[in-house]
């Protein structure tokens, strides 16, 4: 048997030094403290496979997929991903800061997201509920983004990108680690894309320009990011403003082929201080501030043709966490958080062609909420090979009853190569400002209970297999009980599935990953859930090319058949992309070139639109083959 830790205490040192040692795995290890099957994408994967948004990263992960309606990109997986669900119910964290806006709980994963991928060190997807640590909205999974340090750049870098459909991006980044240990990273970037003329078969009539939406697919964004750390102190801020013209007819009353513009701005400040208070107590203190603003204007068929939205939210919070390690077999965490969503402002109105607002149509709503939370967890290693992880979080919001989110997990490591984890957890989601506006006093929290079993086995230090089976039971979902917009929190749904992944990383620079995921989910009506493919497959392989100057990255993704909102079955689709990137810098220069949808597959995704059944509006055609090139220079 492989010998474990403390048995070695009895071995004399002169014998110990002769023992054979196996090295730890060369594969990336999870940072997130979670008893689920974490998927990891690192900065080198981002380069090798030419990822440009967090959405691209998510698409590459086991069991996940994204759907775009040409407004936003939405995440799906493990039975969630119904169209129109603003990627809510999952949480996206940047260095510990919860990025969702407080109006819609939307996680921005496309070009409206906060970060340039060049600033990302790793992305971890933690499936399962995270309410035990994060409270509200961590229902179905957590995406943890860790940004790079200034020292990782240690230079000023300029970058330029060009892509299909007249897409250009410029970025300037400065990073430095100073001799006293202080670390600084500053970055700014701008994206401008012309977009395409797009054909929508569902609107192919002479009155609708024969289904063509021309010149209304442009997109722009500006991003700013900075962080500074010294000793245990860190301060970080990010801002993004994305403007997009949307080529789709977004509502029943919208005019097709008329400009529909959306503008989303997200910003945050996160300041933290961590320290060890003596040898056994770790403390992390954090203050955060968040800002979100949305403006939208679309053309409708009405005497007041401009339908406008103007929303704005701001919030701040403080979090204090202690981890006590007084006992060898326990690691006890105690934390408190206070969050104040002091400004949640929603406004809608309609304007005449001359710009006058129809005051009768103007709706202005204002909400606020503050939430106080405490959380407690213990990691109890009650045996060399066994540990028990128990935790609970209590959240009390000003407008809701208090809620407990428990988690219990049992972890068994029969040997140093293998880990088994079984967990049960409950999580919840408070109605957000948009829900409160839509459902009024009927808005209620929604719940999920999750069970998961995970096996992870390192075949050797280069290869790892991960297998998982899970079940999610959601309850108290809002459903329309009479069919006449008569909503009540009585819905429940069920998702079950399994995932299997194989990863390898060889010493010659070749690495690969492949996974398959099966899911079976029933929605609140008891029927097979919409836009929830039964099968998802991923394959990634990257290798240096002869000469060691270039690296090739090949990626294939399979999105299985799934149902549209009209319960039509869309066939499965396989997409391949290829990326070439420089393996070494040449006089500070590096470059990458990618082809997406290499075989130019014509495919459709499920759309959120349901007002004209039978016309084909329940699907949207996606892009064919596209190209992208990036050039970086270190000054």
Partner 1 sequence: MRALVLLLLFWLSPAAHAQVVAEHDMKAAYLYNFAHLFEWPESRRANFHICILGDEEVGAALQGYDEKRINGQRMVIARLTTTTPIRLCDILYVGAGEAVNLPKIRSMLGNQPTLTVSEKGNLQSVGITLALENNRLLFDVNLEHCEKANLKPKPAMLSLARSVRKAGDGEVRAGAASR
Closest CA to 37 of 427, 384, 411, 541: 411
Between 18 and 587, name the residue whose CB sits nearer to partner 1: 18
Query: Which residues, at least 6 apart from 16, have a Cβ–Cβ distance to it below 8 Å?
Result: 8
CB neighbours (10 Å) of residue 503? Answer: 22
Task: Measure the CA–CA gap between 377 and 130, rounded to whole angstroms.
Answer: 13
Closer residue to partner 1, CB minimum distance, 232 or 353: 232
**Distance in Å, CB of 416 to partner 1, minimum:** 4
Shortest Cβ 63–partner 1 spacing (Å) = 15
In the complex, minimum distance from the CB of residue 421 to partner 1, in angstroms, rounded to a whole number: 13
Rank residues 180 and 359 by Cβ distance to partner 1 and give the closer one. 180
Q: Where are the beta strands (DSSP E) in 481-531?
A: 487-505, 511-522
Q: Least distance from C-beta 457 to partner 1, angstroms?
A: 6
Which 8-state DSSP code applies to residue 216? -
Between CA 339 and CA 317 the distance in angstroms is 4
Residues in the chain, total: 635
Q: Judging by beta carbons within 10 Å of its beta carbon (0-12, 13-18, 19+), is residue 16 exposed, middle or buried?
A: exposed
* Min dist. Cβ of residue 151 to partner 1 (A): 7
Which tokens go with 237? 């801020």
Can you list the pairs that 397-403 forms with residues at least 24 positions away whose Cβ atoms lie under 8 Å? Answer: 397/136, 397/369, 397/370, 397/371, 397/430, 398/368, 398/369, 398/370, 398/371, 399/369, 400/430, 400/445, 403/428, 403/445
- Give the distance from CA 313 to its chain's centroid: 21
Tell the smallest beta-carbon distance from residue 278 to partner 1 (Å): 6
Nearest approach in angstroms of CB 21 to partner 1 is 5
Rank residues 252 and 415 by Cβ distance to partner 1 and give the closer one.
Answer: 415
Closest alpha carbon to 582 in 515, 617, 514, 631: 631
CB of 500 or CB of 617, closer to partner 1:
500
Question: Nearer Cβ to partner 1, position 161 or 503?
Answer: 503
Q: How far is CA 602 from CA 66, 128, 138, 516, 530, in A?
A: 17, 33, 35, 23, 21
Asked if residue 175 lies in contact with residue 221, where contact means CB atoms within 8 angstroms, the answer is no
Residue 9 or 207: the one with the smaller Cβ distance to partner 1 is 9
Q: Judge contact between 362 and 346, C-beta under 8 A.
A: no
Which CB atom, from 103 or from 500, has the smaller least distance to partner 1? Answer: 500
Rank residues 342 and 382 by Cβ distance to partner 1 and give the closer one. 382
Which C-beta is closer to partner 1: that of 229 or that of 425? Answer: 229
Query: What's the token pair of residue 339?
Result: 């969050």
- Shortest distance in whole angstroms from residue 432 CB to partner 1: 34
CB nearer to partner 1: give 162 or 459: 459
Interacting residues of 606 by C-beta distance below 8 A, sequence separation 6+: 67, 83, 530, 531, 562, 563, 564, 565, 570, 618, 619, 620
Smallest separation (angstroms) from partner 1 to the CB of 92: 24
Q: Whole-number minimum distance, CB 500 to partner 1, in Å?
A: 5
Helices (H), 342-496: 433-439
Whole-number Å distance between alpha carbons of 283 and 270: 16
User: Based on the number of CB atoms within 10 Å of its own CB, is 245 exposed (0-12), middle (13-18) or buried (19 or more)?
Assistant: middle
Residue that is written with structure tokens 């990336």 in the block: 28
Instruction: Rank residues 220 and 330 by Cβ distance to partner 1 and give the closer one.
Output: 330
* Pick 3 or 170: Cβ nearer partner 1: 3
Strands 589-596 and 626-634: antiparallel
Supply the minimum distance, in Å, between the C-beta of residue 208 and partner 1: 49
Give the shortest CB-413-to-partner 1 separation in angstroms: 10
Q: Which of residues 381 and 568 has its CB atom nearest to partner 1 in the complex? A: 381
Smallest distance, partner 1 to C-beta of residue 181, A: 5
Shortest distance, CB of residue 455 to partner 1, whole angstroms? 6
Closest C-alpha among 630, 634, 632 to residue 167: 630
Concatenating the DSSP letter of every residue in 386-429 gives EEEEEEEEEEEETTS--EEEEEEEEEEEEETTEEEEEEEEEEEE
Query: Rounded to the nearest whole angstrom, what is the least distance from the CB of residue 468 to partner 1 in the complex?
Result: 9
Is residue 308 within 8 A of residue 300, CB to CB? The reply is no
| Of 20 and 401, CB closest to partner 1 | 20
Reported as half-sphere exposure (CB side, CA atoms, 13 A), residue 420 has a value of 6
Greatest Cα pair distance in the chain: 91
User: Residue numbers of the site for partner 1 (CB under 8 A)?
Assistant: 1-6, 8-9, 11, 13-14, 16-24, 151, 177, 179-181, 231-232, 274-280, 282, 323, 325, 328-329, 381, 384, 414-418, 455, 457, 465, 467, 469, 498, 500
């Amino acid at each position: 048997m492989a010998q474990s830790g403390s048995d070695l205490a009895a071995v004399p040192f002169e014998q110990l030094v002769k023992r054979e040692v196996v090295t730890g795995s060369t594969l990336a290890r999870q940072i997130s403290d979670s008893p689920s099957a974490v998927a990891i994408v690192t900065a080198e994967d981002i380069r090798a496979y030419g990822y440009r948004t967090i959405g691209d990263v998510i698409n590459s992960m086991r069991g996940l997929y994204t759907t775009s309606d040409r407004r936003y990109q939405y995440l799906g997986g493990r039975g969630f991903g119904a169209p129109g669900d603003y990627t809510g119910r999952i949480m996206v964290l940047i260095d510990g800061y919860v990025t969702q806006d407080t109006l819609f709980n939307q996680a921005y994963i496309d070009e409206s997201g906060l970060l340039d991928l060049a600033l990302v060190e790793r992305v971890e997807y933690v499936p399962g509920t995270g309410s035990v640590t994060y409270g509200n909205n961590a229902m179905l999974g957590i995406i943890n983004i860790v940004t790079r340090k200034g020292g990782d750049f240690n230079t000023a870098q300029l970058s330029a990108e060009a892509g299909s459909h007249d897409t250009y991006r410029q970025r300037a980044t400065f990073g430095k680690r100073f001799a006293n240990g202080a670390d600084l990273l500053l970055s700014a970037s701008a994206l401008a894309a012309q977009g395409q003329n797009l054909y929508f078969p569902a609107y192919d009539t002479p009155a609708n320009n024969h289904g063509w939406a021309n010149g209304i697919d442009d997109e722009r964004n500006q991003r700013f990011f900075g962080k500074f750390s010294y000793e245990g102190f860190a301060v970080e801020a990010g801002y993004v403003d994305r403007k997009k013209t949307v080529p789709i007819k977004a509502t029943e009353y919208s005019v097709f082929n008329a400009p529909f513009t959306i503008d989303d701005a997200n910003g945050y400040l996160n300041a933290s201080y961590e320290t060890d208070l003596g040898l056994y107590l770790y403390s992390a203190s954090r203050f955060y501030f968040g800002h979100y603003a949305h403006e939208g204007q679309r053309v409708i068929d009405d005497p007041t043709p401009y339908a406008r939205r103007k929303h704005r939210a701001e919030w701040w919070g403080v979090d204090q966490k202690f981890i006590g390690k007084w006992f060898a077999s326990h690691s006890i965490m105690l934390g408190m958080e206070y969050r104040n969503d002091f400004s949640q402002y929603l406004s809608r109105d309609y304007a005449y062609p001359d710009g006058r607002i129809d005051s009768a149509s103007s709706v202005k709503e204002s909400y606020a909420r503050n939430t106080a939370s405490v959380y407690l967890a213990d990691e109890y290693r009650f045996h060399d090979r066994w540990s028990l992880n128990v935790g609970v979080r209590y959240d009390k919001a000003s407008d809701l009853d208090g809620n407990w989110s428990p988690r219990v997990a049992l972890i068994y490591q029969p040997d140093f190569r293998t880990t088994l984890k079984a967990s049960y957890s409950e999580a919840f989601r408070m109605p957000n400002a948009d829900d409160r506006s839509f459902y009024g006093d009927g808005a209620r929290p929604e719940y999920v209970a999750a069970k998961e079993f995970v096996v992870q086995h390192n075949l050797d230090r280069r290869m790892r297999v991960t297998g998982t089976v899970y079940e999610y039971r959601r309850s108290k979902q809002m459903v329309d009980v009479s069919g006449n917009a008569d909503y009540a929190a009585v819905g429940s749904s069920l998702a079950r599935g399994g995932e299997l992944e194989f990863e390898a990383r060889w010493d010659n620079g070749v690495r690969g990953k492949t996974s398959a995921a099966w899911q079976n989910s029933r929605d609140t009506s008891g029927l097979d859930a919409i836009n929830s493919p039964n099968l998802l497959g991923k394959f990634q392989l990257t290798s240096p090319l002869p000469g060691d100057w270039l690296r090739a990255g090949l990626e294939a993704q399979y999105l299985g058949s799934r149902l549209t909102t009209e319960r039509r079955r869309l066939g499965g689709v396989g997409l391949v992309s290829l990326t070439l990137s420089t393996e070494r810098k040449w006089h500070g220069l590096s470059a990458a070139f990618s082809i997406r949808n290499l075989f130019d597959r014509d495919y459709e995704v499920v759309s959120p639109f349901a007002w004209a059944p039978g016309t084909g509006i329940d699907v949207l055609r996606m892009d064919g083959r596209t190209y992208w090139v990036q050039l970086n220079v270190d000054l």
